[in-house]
Structure 1
Amino acid sequence: MTSQLNYYLKHLHQDIPAGIVVFLVALPLCLGVALASGAPLFSGIIAGLVGGILVSWASGSQLSVSGPAAGLTVIVFDAIETLGGFGGFLLSVVMAGGLQIILGFLKAGVIGAFFPASVIKGMLAAIGVILIIKQTPHATGYDTSFEGDESYMQESAESSFFELSQALEAITPGVTLVSIVALLILIVWDSGFIKQFKPLKLIPGPLLAVIWGISFNTLAMHIAPELVIGEKHLVSLPELGSAANFMNQLRLPDFSYFTNPKVYSIAGTIAIIASLETLLSLEAVDKLDPHKRVAPTNRELKAQGLGNMISGLMGGLPVTAVIVRSSANINAGGQTRIACFFHGVLLLVSVLFFAKYLNMIPLACLAAILLQTGYKLAKPALFVEFYRKGWNQFAPFAITVVAILFTDLLLGIAIGMACGFFFVLKANFHAAITLTQHGDHYLLRLHKDVSFLNKALLRKHLSAIPDNCELLIDGTKALFIDQDIIETIADFLLAAPGRGINVEIQGFSVSSDMSSSPH
C-alpha cells in the first residue's frame, strides 16, 4: 500500500496538470453528449463525475478516462423516446451495468476480439454522420423542433436530410456565427501548426470554443443586441451552491418500468455497445501508453458495470471508456489514475459552485464540438484507408455505415457482421495457431489461413510467452493473414524489447502501416 501511495505521489506533478486538461476537455463533451442524447444536461455531468471519481479506481487501467460517450447518443435518445420517460431509461442503465458486471465475471473481456475492426469502425463512422446531420440544427439555431429530434433511428434518412436542409435555411444569425467561429477554432487548434507550440498544445480546443461563445454573447449584449443568443440556446444547469442541493437534483430510476419488456432489450443493447466501445478504447489506450501497460479487460467490464449502475441510480447517462478524453490525458502527460480522478473532482466542484458561469455557454459551442467529433469519426480519409485495404475490409465497413444510416444501430451492426463473416469464410474457412516450446525457445506457427476469429487465441498464446526468451513466428504455411492479426502481432513487437523477448518472423512482414502479405 505504501509503495503504491509513493508511486502516485511520485507522479503527482504530472497527473494534476493532466487532470486539469482532461476536465477542460470533458466538461463541454459531457454537456454536448447529453444535448445530443435528448437527456437533461445535468445527466451528462453526473456520468462524467461517476467516470472520473469512481471508475478511475475500479478500473485496471492507469490512463483510461470514462464518461458519457458520443457513440451511445443514438441509442440513448431512441431509448428515452421508446420508453416514454427518462426514469425508465435510467432503470435500463442500471440493468446494463449489472449485465456488464456479469460479463466481467464470465470473462467476456475477449468479446471485442470477435468483432472485426471494419464493422466497429463502420459503426463509429455511421454515428459520426448522424452527429453531423443532427447537430446542424443546434449549430444554426433552427427553432422548429429545437429540442433536436435526435431519434434518427425512428425516421427515414430522407426526412433527416430534409430537416438538415431546413435548418440551413432557417438560421439564427448570432447562433450560427458562434458555431462557425467555434468550429474554425477547433479546426485550427487541431492543426499541425498549433501542435508545434507545446504551451498552446496544452490548452484544449473545446475550452477555447466555449470561451469564444461566452465572450461573443457578453459583448453582443452591449454592441449588437440583434445578435444576442437567447436563453433557450444556452446551457441550463441548476445553480446548486451546496452538497445538499446537489443531492436534491439526483434522480432515481422509475422502478415501475420493471414490467416493461422494452427496458430489458434496451439494457442489453446498452451493455453490449458500451462494453464494445470500452474494450476498443482500452485497446487504443494500451497502444498509446508510453509505458506499454496492458489493462485487464475483464476487470474493466466490471468497473464500467459498477459505473453504469451508480450513474443510473443517480440520474446519469451510461458511461464507457472514452478515447478522446483518454488520449487528451496521455498527451497532457498523465501517468496514473490520479489524473482521471482529479478531473472528476473538478467536474464536481464546477457543477456545485460555478453553474452560474456554465449557464453562459451557448449550445452552439457544444454543437460545434460534436460536429468536429462527428467529422473525426467519419472523416473521408477513413473511407479511403479501408478502400485501400481491399474489399474484404472495405465492404463490411461501408455496408455497416449504410445499413445503420438506413435501418438502426443494432440491425446495421448485424448486417455488417454478416458481411464480414461472408468475406472471412470465403477467404479462410479453417484457421489455427499453435505454440510450441523447447527450453527458452518458442515457436508460434500460423497454419493455413488466419482471420480475426483467431485474434483471441493469438492473444492467449502471446500472453503465455514469458520474459527473456526467443520467439519465432512462422507464417510460411499461411495463405492469408487478416489485418487484425497483423495489428495484434505489431503491438506485441512494440512491447517485446521491453520484456527481453527476441522475435523473429518468417513468411510475412509487419510494416509501419500494418499492411502485410504472407510469403
Structure 2
Amino acid sequence: MNTNSKTKNIFSNLAADIPSSVVVFLVALPLCLGVALASNAPLFSGIIAGVCGGIIVGIMSGSQLSVSGPAAGLTAIVASAIITLQSFEAFLVVVVLAGIMQVILGFVKAGVIGDYIPNSVIKGMLAAIGLILIINQVPQLLGDKSALPANDEESIAATGNIFVNFFKAFGHITPAALLIGILCLVIHFVWEKLVAGKKGFIKLIPAPLLIVFIGVGLNALFAGTGLMPALTGSYLVSIPMAGSAGEFASFFTSPDWSAIGNSQVWVLALTIALVASLESLLSLEAIDDMDPYQRASPTNRELKAQGIGNIVSGLIGGIPVTSVIVRSSANVNAGAKTKMSAILHGLLLLGSVAFIPFLLNMIPKTALAAILIFTGYKLAKPALFKLYYRKGWDQFLPFVITIIAILATDLLKGVIVGIGVGLFFAFRSNFRKAVFVVKDDSKYLFRLRKDVSFLNKAIIKQNLEKVPDGARVIIDAMRADYIDKDIVEVIEDFIIHAPLKDIDVQLETSGFIDHGFSHKILANDNRDGHLRRTYTKVITSIKQTSVPDVTPELSNLASHSQ
C-alpha cells in the first residue's frame, strides 16, 4: 500500500475515529492526572505524557488501535526515582535516556519478546486490570473524600491500599456523589445495550461523553435547586489553569543535564526502558487480539515509537509513557478504526488544558469513575472466566493465577508469575505427549512424538529397564520431529544389550530422518531383506481410552519378529 492510499484510508475513517478520540480523551484525562499524582510528579507532567503518547507515539507507531500515555505500571518506579534523585528535572534525564534505550531495542529487533507470552496470561492481565479499575474506582463512585485521588488502574494498587480503600469507602459515602455515580453507571450499561446493533446518529454518540454531560448536569441541578449539597473541590476534576500563553508555557520543564553523570540515572533509565517496553509489547499483543480486523502491529516499530515518545516527553517535562490497556480498550470499544483516534485524543488533551480547563474542572470524579468501572467490567466479564474454565486447567490456572498475582503485587510481577505458570503447563503438556508407553502382554510400544528432549531421558530409560526377558519391543520414532542425542544414546544402548535378555527390538524411523541413530543399529534392524524400521503396523490391542490422541494398529508383532 503506497503513502497516498494509506493517507486516504486514515482520513476516510474519521467518522468513526473522531467520536472514538473523544471517548479516549475522556478516559485518558483522569488517568493522566492519576498517574502523575501517584508518581509524586507535577500534575501537568501527566498531561504532557498523554499528549506525547497520543500525538508522537500515535504518528510513529504501526498500531492502528493502541493508545499510549503515562505509564501506570511505572508509578512505583517513577515515585521512587524522583525521591532517589531528589529532583524532578534530574528524573527527566532518566526518561530521555530510557527512550533512547527503547529505540535501540527496536533496532536490535527485541520486539519478539511479546510473541512468547501465553494468551492466557495476556487475557489474565486484561482481566486483572479490569478488576483493579473496578475496585479502585468504587471509592470515587461512592464519594469517599478520604480515598486516594488517583483515577488510575494501578497507582493505588502499587501502594497496597486498593482493598482497604474499597471497603473503607462504604463508611464514607457522599449522597450526591453516590446518586450521580450510580445513575451514570446504570445509564452507561443501558446505553451500551440500546445502541448495540443500531446505525445512524445514535451510534455516533459515545457513552462516556453522554455520562460526562449527565454528571455535570446533575451536579449543576443540585447546586441550582439545593436538592442536596452539590459536589465541589476535590470531588471534581482539578487540572492546572493558565492565565496567559506565557504561564501555559511555564508548565513545561527541561531536564537537568548535569545529572547525566550520576550512575543511578543510568540504572533507573535501563529499568524504565525494560519495564516500559514489556508493558507496551503486552498491551500491543492484547489490543491486536481485541482488534475486530485482527491486524498485526509491528513490534519493533512500536519499541522505536515508544522510545521517541519518551524522548520527547522527557525533553518537555513529561513522565514516561507506554501503550496503555485501559485507553486502548476504550478506543476499540468506541469503534475506532485507525491511529487517527489516538492522535486526535492527544490533540484534545493539549487543547483542553490550554483553552478550556475551567470546563474540565466541572466534571465530577464520580461520573468518570462510572466510565472506568464500565471499562473494567468489559475487561473482566464473567463470560471470560467461564470461557477459560471450559478450555481446561492448563489454560484456566495461568489465567487465574496471573490475575491473583497482579492483584497481590503489581502488573510486571504478576505477569512474570503468570508466564512462569504458563510455561510450566506448556512444559508439562509437551513432556507428557513427547513419549508414551503401552504394554500388551509381553509386547511393548514406545512411541516418540514431536520434540523428545533430554528431559524425557529418565522416563524412557526407566521404562526400557522394566522390559522383562523375552519381550518384544517396538520403538516408534516415525512421529518425532526431533530426538535429543542423549535419547538416541539410551535407545542404542538398549538395542545393543537387548539380545542378552532375549528381547526382540524393532526400531522404526521415517526413512528420511534417522535422528542420528548409528548405521550399525539401523543395519542390525534388517531381517529377511526388509528394514523393520519401515513397518507401520504395530500391536492392535491399545485401547482408545488409554491413548486418546493416537490410533495405531497393533498387529502381527510376533510374526514380524520371527
TM-score, with structure 1 as normaliser: 0.72
Partner of 2:67: 66
* Aligned-residue offset at 1:231: 1.6
Q: Which moved more, 1:102-111 or 1:303-312?
A: 303-312
Cα distance change, pair 246–103 in 1 and its aligned pair in 2 (3 A) = same
Q: Which moved more, 1:306-315 or 1:237-246?
A: 237-246
> Which of 414, 422, 425 is residue 424 of structure 2 equivalent to?
422
CA distance in structure 1 between the partners assigned to 2:480 and 2:187 by the alignment: 49
CA distance in structure 1 between the partners assigned to 2:303 and 2:3 by the alignment: 23
What pairs up with 1:218-257 in 2 under 5 angstroms? 218-224=220-226, 226-240=228-242, 243-253=245-255
Q: Which runs of 5+ in 2 are unaligned?
A: 435-448, 453-477, 482-547, 551-562
Q: How many equivalent residue pairs?
A: 434
Structure scoring higher RCO (CA < 8 A, sep ≥ 6) equals 1
CA distance in structure 2 between the partners assigned to 1:415 and 1:288 by the alignment: 23
**In the alignment, residue 349 of structure 2 is paired with which amino acid?**
L
* Aligned-residue offset at 1:422: 1.5
* Aligned-residue offset at 1:232: 1.6
SS in 2 for 1:448: strand
> Which of 256, 281, 294 is residue 279 of structure 1 equivalent to?
281
Percent identity, please: 47
**In the alignment, residue 136 of structure 1 is paired with which amino acid?**
V
CA distance in structure 2 between the partners assigned to 1:225 and 1:286 by the alignment: 47
Partner of 1:24: 22
Partner of 1:352: 354
Answer yes or no: is 1:139 the counterpart of 2:141.
yes
Partner of 2:412: 410
**In the alignment, residue 69 of structure 2 is paired with which amino acid?**
P
Q: Is the 8 A contact 1:45 1:316 kept in 2?
A: yes
* Aligned-residue offset at 1:146: 4.2
* Aligned-residue offset at 1:258: 5.9
What pairs up with 1:164-183 in 2 under 5 angstroms? 164-183=166-185
Partner of 2:157: 152
* Aligned-residue offset at 1:270: 4.2
CA distance in structure 2 between the partners assigned to 1:76 and 1:281 by the alignment: 17
**In the alignment, residue 346 of structure 2 is paired with which amino acid?**
G
Cα distance change, pair 180–314 in 1 and its aligned pair in 2 (3 A) = farther
CA distance in structure 2 between the partners assigned to 1:7 and 1:328 by the alignment: 24
Q: Which runs of 5+ in 1 are unaligned?
A: 433-446, 451-475, 480-516
Q: Is the 8 A contact 2:25 2:346 kept in 1?
A: no
**In the alignment, residue 184 of structure 1 is paired with which amino acid?**
V
SS in 2 for 1:190: helix
* Aligned-residue offset at 1:31: 2.0
Q: Is the 8 A contact 1:52 1:67 kept in 2?
A: yes
What pairs up with 1:17-166 in 2 under 5 angstroms? 17-37=15-35, 38-39=37-38, 40-61=42-63, 63-68=64-69, 72-77=71-76, 79-80=78-79, 83-84=82-83, 87=88, 90-147=92-149, 150-155=155-160, 160-166=162-168
CA deviation digits over 1:436-488, x for unaligned, max 9?
xxxxxxxxxxx7269xxxxxxxxxxxxxxxxxxxxxxxxx9599xxxxxxxxx
* Aligned-residue offset at 1:219: 1.6
Cα distance change, pair 401–174 in 1 and its aligned pair in 2 (3 A) = same
Partner of 1:8: 7
CA deviation digits over 1:346-389, x for unaligned, max 9?
33222211111111111222222222233333332222222221
* Aligned-residue offset at 1:7: 4.8
Partner of 1:492: none
SS in 2 for 1:320: strand
Cα distance change, pair 333–315 in 1 and its aligned pair in 2 (3 A) = same
**In the alignment, residue 158 of structure 2 is paired with which amino acid?**
M
Q: Is the 8 A contact 2:96 2:314 kept in 1?
A: yes
Structure 1 or 2, whichever has the larger Rg, is 2
Q: Is the 8 A contact 2:187 2:211 kept in 1?
A: yes
SS in 1 for 2:228: helix
Partner of 1:195: 196
CA distance in structure 2 between the partners assigned to 1:412 and 1:35 by the alignment: 24
CA deviation digits over 1:283-306, x for unaligned, max 9?
455567677654322111101111
CA distance in structure 2 between the partners assigned to 1:282 and 1:5 by the alignment: 26
SS in 1 for 2:450: strand
CA distance in structure 1 between the partners assigned to 2:218 and 2:377 by the alignment: 25
SS in 2 for 1:197: coil
CA deviation digits over 1:145-174, x for unaligned, max 9?
54359443343xxx6433322111111111
SS in 1 for 2:250: helix
